[in-house]
Structure 1
Amino acid sequence: MKIIDWYILKRYLATFFVMLIMFIPIGIIIDVSEKINKILANKVPFLQVAKYYGDFTIYFANMLFPIFLFLSVIWFTSKLANNTEIVAILGSGISYTRFLRPYLMGASIICILSLGMGFFFVPRASKGFNDFRYKYLKNNSETRQSQDVYKQISDNEYIYVSSFSYADKIGYNFTLENFKDNKLVSKTNATTIRYNEKDSTYTLMNYAKRTVGAMGDKLESAAEKKFRFNFEPDDLTPTIYAAETMTLTQLNTFIEKEKQHGSGNINAYLVVLYKKYSIPISAFILTIIAVAVSSMKRRGGMGINLAMGISLAFVYIFFDKVFGTLAEKSAMSPIVAVWFPNLVFGILAVYLLRNARR
């Protein structure tokens, strides 16, 4: 590597990490100001609070790293342009493509770090962050609840509840269907299902069971009856952030299992999986855009470049959130939704790079 490569690469990495170090404490201060009343009211132990903000740091650093990277590249490249260093570099005979090489090397380092964090460290931080919020900061009305859960619990059994509250361990309009050779064998209904933690059983209220027979159906009913089923309350209340708390291997296994069970949240889990790859790759796209936007010396100076960078950053966040939500709530393909922002900004990067070369 030449001296110029080391010079730009060190500025690239140093500015990025300094920006992270500067903005994360600001985020922690804002979060503390919002949650301090609930933390004090719930008498949360100090060690739990400290652990929460350790997880908070990793969780949000990973979530917002593309924006910090984008703004840090614009910042130090604008300074190079204002000091006419870029003019001197290009004037020495170095092509614009060659000038980009240390930037792409820096993006590769950040991409690898982000992949490693997303695969192994962020899931643990996400679990700690979300568990703390649900345990100490959420109101009773915000505790885990589910609506219209339909799930396969074995090769031949399917369950359904119209709603289930994890706090009360009570569900409504419960149905259990048993099949054999794709034919219904029995169907169990209850207006209410309640989980009994003492003996890990379920109590069915207004219980009714119909067993299909060749010579006629057999009916059974009771006002109340206890059963032991091969599913847990967690199966009736799929945690929204469950996928975020798993390593890559665990997540792939979990998604395959949920597909077999016919989970209604499968798209949300796939969005999490695909983002583990798309967000790190965005480091290359955003780096190219940032260099193309800020490598020219402008009359307005660094302020114009930062304004353009912040605007593009908000557009990227908007695309990422909107299409991620569309994938979770509609029939839109999760892989298309997750990669669409990178595709749009990739095209923009090519266009801006061509203009910058001129």
Structure 2
Amino acid sequence: MSIIDKYIIRKFLGTLAFMLALISIIVLVIDIQSKMPRIEASHLKIGNFLIHFYPYWLIYLVMTFMSILVFITVIFFTSKMANNTEIVAIVSGGVSFHRFARPYLIAALLLASSILVVNHFILPWANVKKNKLIIYTYSTTKQRKFTDRRQISTQISPKEFVFMNSYDPEAKSGDTYLFQRFDKNRKLIYQISAEQAAWDQKKKSFLLTNFYEKSINKDNTEKLSKGEVKYQKLGGDPEEIFPNELLGENKTTPELIRFIRHEKEKGNANVAAYQNELYARTAMPFSIIILTFLALSLSSQKKRGGLGINLAIGISLAFVFVFSFEVLKLVSTSQTLPPLLAMWLPNIVFAPVAFVLYWKRANQ
């Protein structure tokens, strides 16, 4: 690795680290001020959030917007190099533009591979910590989606169904419980109802209180029984049996793949949100490479207006990228586009643009 390579990589990573620290502090202060009334309204202490929420929330935020931060970083320090005629001096010394771009590729690959590992295995761990408290930062209406009692009607396998008249997601218990199992001909073969069902963490089962049980034999005879308590396993924790929109974030990629497969097997067609999470974990790191070369192509020439015009262009393109990504998530969730295509579409669109601009710049 030459002196130029080390110099550019050091500027790349050093500027990125500075921007990460600066933006994290600014965003943290603004976010605490905006969310403090909701946290206090939930009778929780802000100090608890500073220790048990915000460190993990910052990891999530940085990983989500890392490609955009890299994009702006490259524009910032490359524009400064161009304005100081450093790039002209390097190219005039006989170094081709392709050779000049090599340290950018090395740094981008290093960042992309690191973030790929973080997204698939480390970020879910941080999300588990974050999501324990994040609902208390939501508006009252949105918070109720996660805390209020609700009616349950769900299919847990192709032949098994669970119903509860009123389920408390925080207490993991519900009233008027009903479980039904059918055979391949859609004939009821087993049913159990109970006044209450409460999750027992140690036994990984629901404790049914005052239950009535019915089994139907092949000759249509019925076996009836009742009792005060009975444990029943449903093949998973309540979070998986009755999933919310945050569950996908909490699972490592192998766990998420198994969960999506299980949801499809039990007949749940509404898995697009979880597939978006899965595919975005790879698509976002890959976008770092694309946006690095797009930023290099846009900022490696000295322009009238200097750093300001380059940053304006960069921030505008970053906004387009983020906005398109969020819109495509909504489009995919409504099943208008396949999740895989939706999560990779920004890369598919920006990659040819980056290639054309880079090739044009390299051959000037």
TM-score range, shorter chain: 0.7 to 0.9
Task: Write the mapping of 1:1-358 to structure 2, written as runs, cut at 5 A.
Answer: 1-41=1-41, 42-44=43-45, 46-134=47-135, 139=140, 141-144=144-147, 149-153=153-157, 156-159=159-162, 164-167=167-170, 176-186=179-189, 194-196=196-198, 200-202=206-208, 228-231=231-234, 233-357=238-362, 358=364
Count of residues in Structure 1 that have an aligned counterpart in Structure 2: 353
CA distance 1:111–1:256, shift in 2 (3 Å): same
How far apart are the structure 1 equivalents of 2:319 and 2:87? Answer: 27
Give the whole-Å Cα distance in 1 for the aligned partners of 2:279 and 2:22.
Answer: 29
Which residue type is aligned with residue 30 of structure 2? Answer: I
Amino acid at match of 1:201: L
Tell me, in whole angstroms, the C-alpha distance in 2 between the residues paired with 1:126 and 1:112: 20
Query: Is the Cα contact below 8 Å between 1:150 and 1:161 reproduced in 2?
Result: no
SS at match of 2:182: strand
Q: Percent identity between the aligned chains?
A: 31
TM-score normalised per structure 1 = 0.84
SS in 2 for 1:151: strand
Please give the secondary structure, in 2, of the residue aligned with 1:143.
helix
Relative to the length of structure 2, the TM-score reads 0.83
- Residue 77 of structure 1 deviates from its aligned partner by 0.5
CA distance in 2, matches of 1:253, 1:64: 27
Report SS of the residue matched to 1:150. Answer: strand
CA 136–277 in structure 1, closer or farther in 2 if over 3 Å, else same = closer
1:144–1:239 CA contact under 8 A, matched in 2: no
Q: Secondary structure at the match of 2:187?
A: strand
Shift of 1:308: 0.5
Equivalent AA in structure 1 for residue 207 of structure 2:
T
CA contact (8 A) 1:185 1:212 kept: no
Query: How many Å apart are 1:91 and its aligned residue?
Result: 1.9
Partner SS, residue 178 of structure 1 = strand
Cα displacement (A) at 1:294: 0.7
CA contact (8 A) 2:297 2:358 kept: yes
Deviating 4+ runs (over 6 angstroms): 145-148, 170-175, 207-210, 216-220
Mapped contact 2:208–2:229 kept (Cα < 8 A) = yes
Paired amino acid for 2:39: I
| d(CA) in 1 for partners of 2:324, 2:11 | 29
Is the Cα contact below 8 Å between 2:283 and 2:343 reproduced in 1? yes
Which stretch shows the higher mean deviation, 291-300 or 128-137? 128-137
The amino acid of 1:121's aligned partner reads I
Moved more, 2-11 or 264-273: 264-273
In the TM superposition, residue 252 of structure 1 has moved relative to its aligned partner by 2.6
Using the alignment, how far apart are the partners of 1:158 and 1:93 within structure 2? 72
Return the letter of the residue paired with 1:104: L
Residue deviations 1:20-77 (CA, integer Å, cap 9, x gap)? 0110011110111012234345142735532212112211111111111110100001
Q: Give a deviation string over 1:298-356, Cα, whole Å, max 9, x none.
A: 11111111011001001100111111222222152111111111111111111211222
Letter in 2 for 1:14: G
Q: CA shift at 1:290, angstroms?
A: 0.3
